[in-house]
């Protein structure tokens, strides 16, 4: 039995598999296995998810320098290389905390199809104005999700999001510092969120100092909210009023989900029925072909039997005439 080699696998299959790997595997492992795998990594569809570690470790830097024979590690050079490989097909991007202005410009120009973006805090010695970051948002018109680290002006950025990103539904804060730290989210930031993004479906405010009035504002103003993450927050206690608002929100979401589920089931029924009809038709065609193929054999067999009987009859007549 012939055994197929991994390097002989269809190129589309390789690309599909490699597209599910992380940046680290695509940089350090896959291209060095064999020539066909290296060629597959040149396909832009392998580079749709550019999720860098938020903090690039020393081992990551050393490995990159050794693998590619570099004189030194350069964050901007690395991101430029990966963004160029994506050829505009990237849909997800997580930038490390060592990113610079040049990195952001590269990402904005090289990833126009971006849907999911995470911006960590930038280098301390690289002053980035809020207006500069906000000006780049308009280049990501397909953006659906945004995670912001510390140091960004929420109002200016979300203003641009509300103007240019019509499919935006997911926003959140995060911190890069120690796990015990709590970030402060100001009243004006909450007001910006509920005013500019009333159609939010997902909001992540974990480990923040969130006043109960701000939590109430969110529940009242964001009518389409499906998931609100306030784990490990301080500044409020769960009381009957908040639970009531949450239940009202849940009922609204449940009704919407039920309608969506009905529509999905309806279309699934159509798809399944179509697939079933195709299977039945295919089975009938295969059966008919099998009958057609097997029929000549039966005819030949019948002809052989008749011929044999005719010979026996001739032989009996010949014996009778002799006697």
> Would you identify the CATH topology of the domain 6-278?
3.80.10
pTM score: 0.69
DSSP 150: T
The Cβ of residue 214 has, within 10 Å, a number of other Cβ atoms equal to 22
* DSSP states of 20-88: TS-HHHHHHTGGGT-HHHHHHHTSGGGGSEEE--SS--HHHHHHHHHHHT-SS--HHHHHHHHHHHHTT
Span 53-102, pLDDT tens digits: 888 888 889 988 988 888 888 888 999 999 999 999 999 999 888 788 88
Q: Please check the confidence at residue 291 and state whether its pLDDT lies above 90.
A: no
pLDDT digits (tens, 9 = 90+) for 29-38: 988 888 888 9
Confidence of residue 11 (pLDDT cuts 50, 70, 90): confident
> What secondary structure letter does DSSP report for 234?
B
Whole-number Å distance between alpha carbons of 112 and 104: 12
Residue 36, number of CB atoms within 10 A of its CB? 14
Tens digits of per-residue pLDDT, 236-268?
Answer: 887 887 788 777 655 544 443 433 333 333 333
For the chain, domain boundaries: 6-278
């Amino acid at each position: 039995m012939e055994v197929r080699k991994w390097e002989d696998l269809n190129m589309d299959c390789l690309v599909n598999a490699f597209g599910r790997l992380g940046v680290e595997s695509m940089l350090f492992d896959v291209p060095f296995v064999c020539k066909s795998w290296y060629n597959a990594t040149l396909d832009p569809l392998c580079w749709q998810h550019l999720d860098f570690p938020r903090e690039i470790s020393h081992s990551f830097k050393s490995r990159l320098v050794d693998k590619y024979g570099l004189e030194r590690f350069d964050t901007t050079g690395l991101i430029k290389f990966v963004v160029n490989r994506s050829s505009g097909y990237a849909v997800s991007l997580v930038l490390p905390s060592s990113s610079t202005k040049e990195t952001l410009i590269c990402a904005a120009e090289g990833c126009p199809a971006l849907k999911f973006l995470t911006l960590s805090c930038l280098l301390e010695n690289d002053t980035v104005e809020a207006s500069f970051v906000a000006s780049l948002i308009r280049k990501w018109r397909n953006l659906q999700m945004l995670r912001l680290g510390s140091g960004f002006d929420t109002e200016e950025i979300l203003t641009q999001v509300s103007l240019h990103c019509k499919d935006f539904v997911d926003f959140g804060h995060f911190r890069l510092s120690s796990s015990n730290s709590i970030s402060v989210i100001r009243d004006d930031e909450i007001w910006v969120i509920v005013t500019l993004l009333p159609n939010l479906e997902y909001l992540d405010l974990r480990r923040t100092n969130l006043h109960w009035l701000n939590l109430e504002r969110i529940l009242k103003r964001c009518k389409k909210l499906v998931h609100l993450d306030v784990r490990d927050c301080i500044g409020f206690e769960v009381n009957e009023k908040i639970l009531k608002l949450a239940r009202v929100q849940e009922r609204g979401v449940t009704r919407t989900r039920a309608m969506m589920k009905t529509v999905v089931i309806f279309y699934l029924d159509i798809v399944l029925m179509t697939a079933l009809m195709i299977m039945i038709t295919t089975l009938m065609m295969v059966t008919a072909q099998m009958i057609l193929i097997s029929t000549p054999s039966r005819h030949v067999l019948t002809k052989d039997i008749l011929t044999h009987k005719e010979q026996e009859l001739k032989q009996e007549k010949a014996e009778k005439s002799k006697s």
